[in-house]
Amino acid sequence: MAHYMNSAMNQYRQTGIAAATVETDPVKLIEMLLGGAIDRLAYARGAMLRQEREAKHHYLTSAMSIIEHLRLVLDVDAGGDIARNLRRLYDYMLGRLPAANLADDPAAVDEVIGLLREIKSAWDLITARAKAH
């Protein structure tokens, strides 16, 4: 768990997000990473529509780094089918975004944003249930 936390925290800091609570709460860290990826994709989509190629590339690359990190820290042994399905979903996203970049396809970015929002809502529910107990 310590290696996961250090690795995730480093990724979190590299993406420009900071909050003291994430150092002790891995679920909160995942929620924030997902939120960061969603935000960056929204910025990338806006840059795409404005034909700001450099900004689009920056935000897409940043979002893909976060998604890749989320994919890499999955514990398939402990997470079983859920972790395997998440890995496949992250792989799909990581295939969709470079294609969206090349084709200037905001619909593909919207699709990935929607998928990430679904995953994030599940994590948000985990946090809410944990706080209720």
Distance CA 34, CA 28 (A): 10
Identify which of 109, 107, 95, 96 has the alpha carbon closest to the alpha carbon of residue 44.
Answer: 109
Above pLDDT 90, what percent of the chain? Answer: 62
Show the tokens assigned to 6. 């250090």
Contacts of 46 by beta carbon, 8 Å cutoff, 6+ apart: none
Tell me the CATH number for domain 2-132. 1.20.120.340
Estimate to the nearest angstrom the gap between the alpha carbon of 82 and the chain centroid.
16
pLDDT of residue 14: 52
How does the average pLDDT of the chain come out, rounded? 85
Question: What pTM was estimated for this model as a whole?
Answer: 0.80
